[in-house]
Structure 1
């Protein structure tokens, strides 16, 4: 597995990113953008990108917090339980708006094009990345054919930039994996998102992973659930194999 560190020029600066490709899949059959969770790029996200790339994709993991670099690193198990790091993290999350990442997503797609990825593009986001993956799909319906979110927060909130408001612009197939108990995506938001996608005639699945908490997919989270994480991998790889042909 090969990781190449690259720099992506955006309208607001330069975002560092990792581009992962399998030596066994050259050229890559399709591209995937992995939208990070709140703790930023780190070895565990590299591992996830490598696992995805092993299925024949070129996987891009951009730093969404690049406007505030350098920052961290953060320990996902304790960052939100220590007041100092919690304050720093929340400043990064709230200071990196949906609109910022929407602007950046065009540059991320161009980075895949520059890397000779001419096939279909999928996106997947975790935690704060879930909404950003859906907003990217709504903004670039001509490029993104598959969009997945796992324990994504505020996917159908009252905020004006909530992705459910852009459902009519989504042409991609959508998969949403939700935690059994998640204050950032309560049942009323799930119902609102389902209705928006249904009315917009978006091909979608919303699946509830009962008994797991927000962050269950990611190995360095305190609530990581190994069995449910493997279920997430099965769903994600099947989803991309069906859509990124």
Structure 2
């Protein structure tokens, strides 16, 4: 599966990232994929490559590019629980600096770049994300209701702001970690999605902790990763290709 490094023009400079897409000629539906807070690394390239293997052009930006190119912080090959607190301490200032204005400015740039690539077909796109990337995905979809047809977030914080949800026209799937919210909180979130008229599925993945899709962490759960594909691929197929 071809993977190429890209430089994405933004209002604040050039952001690095990569794109994964199918072999051969032809054009493919576009998917913007936001990484988790640990950023671009082999585990993300594997996820993007798997998705590209199903016929999508997948753009993965380094959304912390203002602080430097990938890798913004050095990561161990495996992010164990012993290493996690120190890494999170270094990442938190980057997250706090990634304001709502920056999120929306970057989303404009990422979608503009994605939709103008020669390998990307005309028509709507999808956005998916992990951890903080899921929050970025939801905000991107809300800001581009005519362009984003599907959005998914996994083990992510969810902004249940009524004004944001009211802007969503995309089909939504949210896959929550069991450790991240209670059934009562899930029910409250789903009532908010229903009240906003959002076409959605939103569920807790059994036996999971935060970060369950990430194969280079102690949180990884192979059954939950497969459940994530079982939800994500039909969402994209129905929304982007009519499958």
The TM-score normalised by the length of structure 2 is 0.90
RMSD over aligned CA atoms reads 1.9
CA distance 1:179–1:144, change in 2 (3 Å): same
Query: How far is 1:25 from its partner?
Result: 6.5
CA distance 1:66–1:188, change in 2 (3 Å): farther
User: Are the aligned partners of 1:155 and 1:189 in contact in 2 as well (CA < 8 Å)?
Assistant: no
The separation in 2 between residues aligned to 1:229 and 1:67, in whole angstroms, is 30
Query: How far is 1:82 from its partner?
Result: 5.7
CA distance 1:27–1:92, change in 2 (3 Å): same
Please say which of residues 191-200 and 72-81 is displaced more in the overlay: 72-81
The separation in 1 between residues aligned to 2:50 and 2:187, in whole angstroms, is 32
Query: How far is 1:129 from its partner?
Result: 0.7
Q: Which residue of 2 aligns with 1:125?
A: 129
Query: How far is 1:73 from its partner?
Result: 2.3
The separation in 2 between residues aligned to 1:82 and 1:236, in whole angstroms, is 27
The TM-score normalised by the length of structure 1 is 0.89
User: Are the aligned partners of 1:25 and 1:57 in contact in 2 as well (CA < 8 Å)?
Assistant: no
The separation in 1 between residues aligned to 2:11 and 2:18, in whole angstroms, is 19
CA distance 1:216–1:26, change in 2 (3 Å): same
Deviation per residue, 1:46-80 (Å, 9 max, x gap): 11101101111100000010011142122362477
Q: Which runs of 5+ in 2 are unaligned?
A: none
The separation in 1 between residues aligned to 2:86 and 2:212, in whole angstroms, is 24
Alignment of 1:243 with 2:239, yes or no, is yes
Please say which of residues 217-226 and 191-200 is displaced more in the overlay: 191-200
- Give the alignment partner of residue 190 of structure 2, picking from 169, 191, 194: 194
The separation in 1 between residues aligned to 2:144 and 2:158, in whole angstroms, is 20
Q: Which residue of 2 aligns with 1:85?
A: 87
Name the SS for the 1:211 alignment partner: coil
